[in-house]
Amino acid sequence: MKATYKHYTLNFKTPSGTSRGILKTKDTWFVILTEKGKTGIGECGMFRGLSVDDRPDFETKLKWACDNIHFGADKLISELIEFPSIQFGLEMAFKSLASEDGFKLFPSGFTQNESPIHINGLIWMGSEDFIKQQIKDKLNAGFSCIKMKIGAIDFETELNVLKTIRQEFSAKDIELRVDANGAFLPSEALEKLKRLSDFDLHSIEQPIKQGQWNDMARLCESTPLPIALDEELIGIFSEEKKKELLKIINPQYIILKPTLVGGFQGSEQWINLAKAQQIGWWITSALESNIGLNAIAQWTYTLHSNLLQGLGTGSLFTDNFDSPLVVKNGTLRYETNREWELSNLDLNF
C-alpha cells in the first residue's frame, strides 16, 4: 500500500460571516491510498482557528502518517490522538479503499437514493437585509429548520430578525436554531438566553466560549432555552475527560463534527457517553468538501437520529467537487444517476 496527500483550497461563493470573522477560503488536505490497482481517498479538513490540530507541525504529521501507512488504520489513529482531522482522513481513506467504488463507504437506503437525510438550512451573519434574504431563500427551498449564526452584529438587530420570522411562522411551521460560536460573555449570557427564548427556539449552540465549564454548567442548569455544546468538545481526547465534561456541564445537547473530534470513532464515543446521560445529539459538517461531507452523511444515516442534521454545506464553494450529493426540499440526497468528478485532484477513480 502507498499513501500520498494533496492540499486543496476551497473558495466560498460568498464570504461567510461568523462571530470568529469572515470566511473566504477553506484549506483542506486529501489522503490518497493505492493498493493492488484500487484507490481510496479521505479528507483531513483541518479548520484554521478552530481545530485543535491547527498547529505548525500539521503537515509534517500528515506526511509521517503517509510514510508509515503500513502501520494500518488502528495503530495510526491511536498514534494521532492530537490530530483528529488526520485521524478522520485516514479512517475515511481506509473505508474508501475497502469499498466497491471508493465512495459508498456505508451502503444503505441513503446511498441507494431510497431515503434522504433531513437537514437544517444554514444562515450566515451579515446585514439585516442579507440575513432576511437568506432566510427567504431557505424557506423557498423547502427547509423546515433554519440555523442562524448570531453574535457578530447588534444583538437587537438579531432579535428583530427572529421576531420577524416568528410573526409569519410558528414553531410548528419552522424550527429555529441559533449558533453563537461562543460570542456571549458569561455575565450577560443568561439574560440574552431569556430574551432569545421568547421566539420558541429549538436550541442555541455554544453561547459562551469553550473551557468555562462551571459557567456553562450554571447556564445549562438555569437556561430557558436548550443549550448544545459544539466547540466545547474540541481537544477533549480521553474517555475519562469526556465523561467529566458531560457530568459537570450536563448540557441538553452535544453536536458532533467528526473532523474536529476524531472521526467516526471519536464521535461515536461522545454519542455513547451522551446517551448514557440522556443528552441529545446531532451531527454537522465542518465545511469539508463533498468528499468529507459524503463520508459524514453516509455514516450519519446509519445512526438513525430523529433530529435534523447540519449537513447542507456542500453548495457553499465555487470549486467543490461534483458528486451525487444534492440538497433538495430541506433534505440531503444521494442521487445515484450523478457521477463524481475529481479531475481537479488528478486521481484515478
How much is the pLDDT for 22? 80
Q: For the full predicted model, state whether its pTM sits above 0.75.
A: yes
Domains of the chain: 2-102 (3.30.390.10), 117-344 (3.20.20.120)
Q: Of the listed 149, 192, 209, 242, which one is catalytic?
A: 149
How much is the pLDDT for 345? 82
Per-residue pLDDT tens listing for the chain (349 residues): 999 999 999 999 887 766 567 888 999 999 999 999 999 999 999 999 999 999 999 999 999 999 999 999 999 999 999 999 999 999 999 999 999 999 999 999 999 999 999 999 988 877 888 888 888 899 889 999 999 988 877 899 999 989 999 998 899 989 999 999 999 999 999 999 999 999 999 999 999 999 999 999 999 999 999 999 999 999 999 999 999 999 999 999 999 999 999 999 999 999 999 999 999 999 999 999 999 999 999 999 999 999 999 998 888 899 999 999 999 999 999 999 999 999 888 766 5
* 258: enclosing H helix or E strand: helix 258-261
Residues with Cβ within 8 Å of 16's Cβ and at least 6 positions away in sequence, in order, are: 22, 23, 124, 125, 316
For residues 282 and 132, give the distance between their C-alpha atoms in angstroms, rounded to a whole number.
26
Residues with Cβ within 8 Å of 306's Cβ and at least 6 positions away in sequence, in order, are: none
Burial of 223 (0-12, 13-18, 19+ CB in 10 A): buried
246 in Cβ contact with 214 (< 8 Å):
no
* 221: enclosing H helix or E strand: helix 213-222
How much is the pLDDT for 151? 86
How much is the pLDDT for 17? 64
How much is the pLDDT for 313? 84
40 in Cβ contact with 96 (< 8 Å):
yes
Whether 75 is catalytic is: no
How much is the pLDDT for 20? 64
Whether 241 is catalytic is: no
Edge-to-edge strand ranges of the sheet holding 280-283: 121-123, 145-149, 175-179, 203-205, 227-229, 253-256, 280-283
How much is the pLDDT for 189? 97
* 281: enclosing H helix or E strand: strand 280-283
205 in Cβ contact with 148 (< 8 Å):
no
Q: Report the length, in residues, of the chain.
A: 349
For residues 202 and 307, give the distance between their C-alpha atoms in angstroms, rounded to a whole number.
11
